[in-house]
Amino acid sequence: VQIFRMLAMTVVAFALWHITLQRLVQQDAASRSRPLPLYVRNLVFLLLALLMIGGFVTWQAGKQADRNHREHLLDRARAVAATLDPALMGQLTGEPDQEMTRSHRQAVRVLTEVKRISPDVAQVYLYAPRDGQLIFYACSMSSRPQEYYPSGLPYEGEMEPNDWAFFTNGIPYVTGPFRDRWGEWLSAIAPALMSPDGKNVLLALGMDLPATILLHDVRIYRTLGLLLTMALTMLVLDFFARQRQLWLAAQQLASSEEGLRHLSTELE
């Protein structure tokens, strides 16, 4: 989409340049052989430079929006993981029959409260690897049953190598946007329970943000870059249009002075 927008802006700029040339260049062969006025060449080079800079600024704006979202989501996930009770986390087993136990209900209550105070977050959950799969241990309650992950449910969806390496290095990270059977998400992962030696992650906390929120903000930031580029382009075109008017006025004045000198010579 961004490439299409930049190509459209380039076509519009080329069309304006072509219209300007048609107004400047005469139809006779002599005028065609004349070099382009200096201000026309400056206009072309300046517009090309402006479009290149505008494309770079637009790309950087979208990248900055993406980075801000990831850092903010990761900070929130780490803060939530730091408040969890290790004793409570250690009682979770990830077995389906633990759904009605006291420890599981307490974990669900805590995660649901986190989701309640973070309305933009779609889901908060605890999971760990087992038998070559990622198994959900607890999940916050949701108004829609399909968004609740019961204990013992295996994860189904796109995965990255870091999803497994995380349990050995313990480095919090943000992954996505990725798609699974529940939707498309941007997820922040942080350690919820570490091994006694502090080297391995026994239980991970995941916090999902709908990818549409991220993509919407990225589009807004990029649109601001495009609008800035369009505004600067219009200012440049207006400046050179005024320069052209001054250039034509100077030509007319020079032509009038030449005619006066010729008439004065004839009179003498």
111-135 residue pLDDT tens: 888 888 888 888 888 988 888 888 8
Query: What pLDDT score was predicted for residue 229?
Result: 85
pTM of the predicted model, to two decimals? 0.66
Task: Mark residue 159 as left, alpha or beta (left: phi above 0; alpha: psi -120 to 50; beta: remaining).
Answer: beta
The three-class DSSP label of residue 209 is strand
215-258 residue pLDDT tens: 888 888 888 888 888 888 888 888 777 777 777 777 788 778 87
184-219 residue pLDDT tens: 888 889 998 888 887 888 899 989 888 888 888 888
CA-to-CA dists, residue 135 to 53, 54, 115, 220, angstroms? 47, 46, 20, 36
Beta bridge partners of 134: 129
Query: What pLDDT score was predicted for residue 262?
Result: 80
Per the CB < 8 A criterion, the answer to whether 108 and 140 are in contact is yes
Say if residue 184 is exposed, middle or buried (CB neighbours under 10 Å; 0-12, 13-18, 19+): middle
Beta strands in the chain (DSSP E): 123-130, 133-139, 173-180, 183-194, 201-210
Distance of CA 22 to the CA centre of its chain: 40
Per the CB < 8 A criterion, the answer to whether 158 and 179 are in contact is yes
Token pair belonging to 188: 């922040």
- Residue with the two structure tokens 């009038």: 256
Neighbour tally for 163: CB within 10 Å: 19
Residue 33 has pLDDT above 70, yes or no: no
